[in-house]
Structure 1
Amino acid sequence: MREASLVIDQKAELGEGPSWDARRGVLYWVDIDGFKLMEYHPSSGRHYERKLDQHVCAAVPREKGGMMLALRDGFYTYDLVSGEKEALIDPEEDKPGNRFNDGKCDPLGRFWAGTMAVERGTGEAALYRLNKDMSLDTIFDNVTISNGLAWTEDGSMMYYIDTPTKKVMAYDLDAGSGEITGKRTAITFQEGSPDGMCMDQEGMLWIALHRLGKVERWNPQTSERLETVTVPAQRTTSCVFGGEDLKDLYITTARGELSEEDLRKEPHAGGLFHIRTDVPGTPTYTFGG
């Protein structure tokens, strides 16, 4: 068992949604409750933050430049230079008590992002897919807290987490049509709450376990836990591979809702953490629209 080390002592209320931009050598991540989009440059150690006007729930690089965002009230484009954002679509205008949560792009460049009820209502959320032509598909409804997403590199399988189920579900995915079939349970957790995740080039899943201060590597075919990385912050939220060789695993954490006593024990909660891995990860896919 190894421990991740602190990279940025950000003290994010709800650090989440890391993505790696290989073109720029930059890690993006968000503070959902702090309304911030953040940018870390490992080559220089510089770290920047941009304050927005609402919850920033997920951020992914765009092939044309700039970013795609899932904000509290829907999908947006975002210009990193001007700071201007453009609203595209809000699929839950009729649900003001919901907000977006985790999201990322699949190997074909489509942006998947799901929602959650802020007051933690059960089954009130959904998972959506923004296609490259800016059309929107509803993938699942009856979701509670939409979270981790991962795909095999050939796009033939997808893994998905609705956190309160304590399960990672597996699906067969028709890469062309986007149709999902063959729903089955890949992993069931007895402890902790599975949150964000990513995949390595051996097809293994790295899963952040919220409230346990861990990221675990699992074989989704055999449901076997292979490795555990501890994090000195119990509210681990997500992870992503970065670096030139994709062996830098970056881990996001949160500090919101922690008591003063907890914060004394975990002074770096809400920070960005890092560990080197033996196996390279799959890349962050960019939005193709």
Structure 2
Amino acid sequence: MMVRVETLPVPACDLGEGPLWDVDEQRLYWIDSHGATIYRADAQGKDLQSWCVPEHIGSLCLRKAGGAIVSLRNGFHEFDFASGRATPIADPESGIRRTRLNDGKVDRQGRFLAGYMDYEEREGLGGLYRLNSDRSVTQLEDGIAVSNGPCWSPDGGTFYFADSMQRRIWSYKYDTATGDLLSRRVFADFALHLRGYPDGATVDADGFVWSVEVYGGRLVRFAPDGTIDRLIGMPVDSITSVMFGGADLDILYVTSMARPFLGSRRLEREAGAVFAVTGLGVRGIPETRFVG
């Protein structure tokens, strides 16, 4: 089977992020973080809809009861698609002006985990937080410069998480009953084997971790032991995140950013596009909705 990379017919994003495939709606969601916009389309990028949010947005998840939870610059919010209204829930780092909530996902039990990032991408000012079903917030980590790539093993017992500026993905033993992190080890060190930085990530049905190599322009598939299994080149260096979707969960959707950055080795004509990668021979896992 031959791998194909196609560009979806959707608007380019300044900072595309957070692709999310919902199996119930059979729709793809993604965001423009700096454009403060949520997008939704079908598997081919058609039937496009969009919503504006009041602040920079780092990620979103859908709620089991309808609507979404969004991580904005000023914390967790509930978002209503019908009215376009974002209602604040909590801002655990309200006193730190240089951070905003960034990447986040829902665990297998329906809790939403999202971490903060330093706008200057320099210092470990932010933390990783869990939004519980009762809307309370629990801090799980601190000292994070740029939170990215949260995802879980198929059984939910292993949690993967990256600080892009440290160029590492960690794996944690995850308590599925409480949502607590029990231990941490280095899962993949990009500084040793790769030229870019870890950004968004997802796990396939075989338990392999797919991470984008932002500024390196490749998709990296890691085996459960952290060894590199596959490398797939992309049309742009500025890829940002990944998610399996489509009717059979066998399309890997990849977001990218159009904002300029130093070190690019090629002209980024398609920077900011959303790509659909097919022919990989693997499938993803349905994403859970937030239960609160």
Q: Secondary structure of the equivalent of 2:54?
A: coil
Q: Which amino acid aligns with 1:268?
A: E
Q: Which amino acid aligns with 2:9?
A: I
CA RMSD of aligned residues (A): 1.9
Question: Which residue number corresponds to residue 179 of structure 1?
Answer: 180
| Structure 2: segments with no counterpart, 5+ residues | none
Question: Which residue number corresponds to residue 274 of structure 2?
Answer: 272
Do residues 46 (structure 1) and 47 (structure 2) align? yes
Bigger mean CA offset, 211-220 vs 68-77: 211-220
Cα distance in 1, alignment partners of residues 201 and 242 from structure 2:
6
Cα distance in 2, alignment partners of residues 43 and 23 from structure 1:
17
- After superposition, the C-alpha distances for 1:71-126 in whole angstroms (9 at most, x for unaligned) are 11000111111111211000011011111110110101100000011122311011
Q: Which amino acid aligns with 2:243?
A: V
> Scaled by the length of structure 2, what TM-score is found?
0.93
- Offset of 1:220 from its aligned partner? 3.1
Closer/same/farther in 2, CA of residues 12 and 91 from structure 1, 3 Å limit: same
Question: Which residue number corresponds to residue 258 of structure 2?
Answer: 255
- Offset of 1:174 from its aligned partner? 1.1
- After superposition, the C-alpha distances for 1:194-249 in whole angstroms (9 at most, x for unaligned) are 0000000110001011111111111131x221122222111110000111211111
Matches within 5 A, 1:50-129: 50-129=51-130
Matches within 5 A, 1:1-289: 2=3, 4-42=5-43, 45-190=46-191, 191-221=195-225, 223-258=226-261, 265-276=267-278, 277-289=280-292
Q: Secondary structure of the equivalent of 2:235?
A: coil
Q: Secondary structure of the equivalent of 1:201?
A: coil
Instruction: Detail structure 1 runs of 4+ shifted over 4 Å in the superposition.
Output: none
Cα distance in 2, alignment partners of residues 160 and 44 from structure 1:
28
Cα distance in 2, alignment partners of residues 157 and 109 from structure 1:
15
Cα distance in 2, alignment partners of residues 14 and 229 from structure 1:
21
| Structure 1: segments with no counterpart, 5+ residues | none
- After superposition, the C-alpha distances for 1:173-197 in whole angstroms (9 at most, x for unaligned) are 1111222122111111132000000
Q: Which amino acid aligns with 1:111?
A: F
Cα distance in 1, alignment partners of residues 140 and 178 from structure 2:
12
Cα distance in 1, alignment partners of residues 102 and 196 from structure 2:
19
Closer/same/farther in 2, CA of residues 9 and 84 from structure 1, 3 Å limit: closer
- After superposition, the C-alpha distances for 1:26-66 in whole angstroms (9 at most, x for unaligned) are 11100000111111112672222212221011011110011
8 Å Cα contact 1:214-1:230 kept in structure 2: yes
Count of aligned pairs between the two proteins: 287
Cα distance in 2, alignment partners of residues 33 and 219 from structure 1:
33
Q: Which amino acid aligns with 1:274?
A: A
Bigger mean CA offset, 236-245 vs 37-46: 37-46
Cα distance in 2, alignment partners of residues 131 and 36 from structure 1:
25
8 Å Cα contact 1:4-1:230 kept in structure 2: no
Q: Which amino acid aligns with 2:101?
A: F
Q: Secondary structure of the equivalent of 1:8?
A: coil
Bigger mean CA offset, 141-150 vs 49-58: 49-58
Cα distance in 1, alignment partners of residues 128 and 45 from structure 2:
37
User: Percent of aligned positions with the same letter in both sequences?
Assistant: 33
Q: Which amino acid aligns with 2:28?
A: L
Closer/same/farther in 2, CA of residues 44 and 120 from structure 1, 3 Å limit: closer
- Offset of 1:8 from its aligned partner? 3.2
Cα distance in 1, alignment partners of residues 244 and 50 from structure 2:
20
> Scaled by the length of structure 1, what TM-score is found?
0.94
